[in-house]
Amino acid sequence: MTADTRPARTASPSGSAAPATALVLGGGALGVSIATHLARSGAKVTLATSGDLCDGASGRSLSWLNSAGDRTPAYHALRVLGVDRYRTLFAADPSRDWLRFTGGLWWDAEEATHARHAGEVARGYDSQLLTREDVAHTFPGLAPEAAAEESIHNPGEGWVSLPHLIEHLAAELRERGGVIETKLGACSLLVKNGRAVGIRDASGAEHRADAVVVACGAGTSAVMGEAGVDIPDGSPLAMLVTTEPAAVEAPVLNTPRAAVRPNPGGTFCVDHDWYVDQIVEHEDGRCTIDESVVTELLAEASHLLSGDTTLTAAHWACGRKPIPADGEPVLGTVGQLPGCYVAFTHSGATLALVAGELITHEVMTGIRHPLLEAFSPDRFGG
């Protein structure tokens, strides 16, 4: 007789047994964070992904850590907590060059800037109005003439390189005994007697677990739809350009024609949305864009920087940016499909760490976390 080496299922506060095994579908920041938090909580974890780790939206995310702009109170609170968890990670090792709190600078038309600033102040978000002269003094790496007459400075904001974060968390997951299965192809939920019990990969092989978390970005709606759970998708096309190194420093910038953030190695990541209609999505799922658009975007970004800085592209990638149809995160227990949990949000970078923590709470205790009530997958109905 072969001994059962699976971890024992201990009682949870809800009275049900805490899952001994968990499977997370998705190799991006949310998936790897959830898997790592589950492993920290004692579950035997398998992380499964159709391709490689970080080969989807996490590999082309601006990953600006913030709660700027207009948010619902619940969403704002969750994003602030998300930034807080990154501060904890940063404090553990400030030498990590892939996580920084350089602040953020935003501008648009004067009326929009003042309305945004007033809203941020009302929520207690650190928000300061800067003149062009203030920008020149505070950020010598920027071209003050490119800025609007007034800009919003959010000094508490930061950025993270998600490929580096994923590598960091994946190393911990493996150290804790987690298994990472890559290149599985298109996967579907495995449902038995009305309960999620695992996934089936493209080869037909089954991977079973007591709890299943679906965190596969823009593919989440399709995976859940095949299992009869409606989670409306609003994921648009997007592109991120990573530049060659440039000898200039800047905070995260969000401007009418270019969004820019620093990146390890003196490089920058750049994106925006004015060119979305020029991205071509092919039948095989690949997305492409004419190189002239990349050149134009980098010209806009270069215009924001001081001196004769000219940003050049090292590489770029296009694809779907995960956004639920109503714009709000979809996080936590799926009431109509026991054993299943979902993590699907536009703010995957900002929320990655705190979502991993809170969804793990739901998985291991069987109790909905109060902070996730507003983001329940059940809000879309049966």
Tokens (6 digits) for 33: 């964070």
Give the type of residue at 169.
L
CB–CB of 225/338 below 8 Å? no
Name the strand (E) or helix (H) holding 364: helix 348-365
Asked if residue 279 has pLDDT above 60, the reply is yes
CB–CB of 306/248 below 8 Å? yes
SS3 content of the chain, % helix, strand, coil (to 5): 35, 25, 40
Instruction: State mean pLDDT over 3-12.
Output: 46
Buried/exposed 38-67: b ≥16 CB within 10 Å, e otherwise:
bbbbebbbbbbbbeebbbbbbbbbbbbbbb
**Burial class of residue 231 in the structure, from the number of CB atoms within 10 Å of its CB (0-12 exposed, 13-18 middle, 19+ buried):** buried
Separation CA 318–CA 280 (nearest Å): 9
Name the strand (E) or helix (H) holding 196: strand 195-200
Average pLDDT, the chain: 95
List pLDDT tens digits, range 13-33.
555 689 999 999 999 999 999
Instruction: State mean pLDDT over 209-220.
Output: 98
Tokens (6 digits) for 73: 């109170």
Residues 6+ apart with CB under 8 A from 153: 103, 104, 105, 127, 128, 129, 130, 134, 138
Tokens (6 digits) for 53: 């780790």
Residue 10 pLDDT level (bands cut at 50, 70, 90): low
pLDDT at 110: 86
List pLDDT tens digits, range 83-132.
999 999 999 999 999 999 999 999 998 889 999 999 999 999 999 999 99
Buried/exposed 291-302: b ≥16 CB within 10 Å, e otherwise:
eebbebbbebbb
Q: Which domains does the chain have, with CATH numbers?
A: 21-58+163-231+326-380 (3.50.50.60), 101-157+235-320 (3.30.9.10)
Asked if residue 246 has pLDDT above 80, the reply is yes
pLDDT at 214: 98
pLDDT at 104: 98
pLDDT at 17: 80
Residue 381 pLDDT level (bands cut at 50, 70, 90): confident
pLDDT at 35: 98
DSSP lists the bridge partners of residue 257 as: none
Runs of H (alpha helix) within 41-69: none
In DSSP notation, 73-124 reads HHHHHHHHHHHHHHHHHHHH-TT-TTEE---EEE--SHHHHHHHHHHHHHTT
Name the strand (E) or helix (H) holding 357: helix 348-365
Closest CA relative to residue 24, chosen from 33, 15, 14: 33
Instruction: State mean pLDDT over 329-342.
Output: 98
pLDDT at 364: 98
Lowest model confidence (mean pLDDT) among 10-14, 106-110, 130-134, 229-233: 10-14
| The Cα angle at residue 346 between residues 223 and 288, in degrees rounded to 5 | 75
Separation CA 62–CA 287 (nearest Å): 18
Q: What's phi and psi for 139, nearest 5 deg?
A: -130, 80
Q: Where do we find the tokens 């507003």? A: 374
Separation CA 302–CA 130 (nearest Å): 21
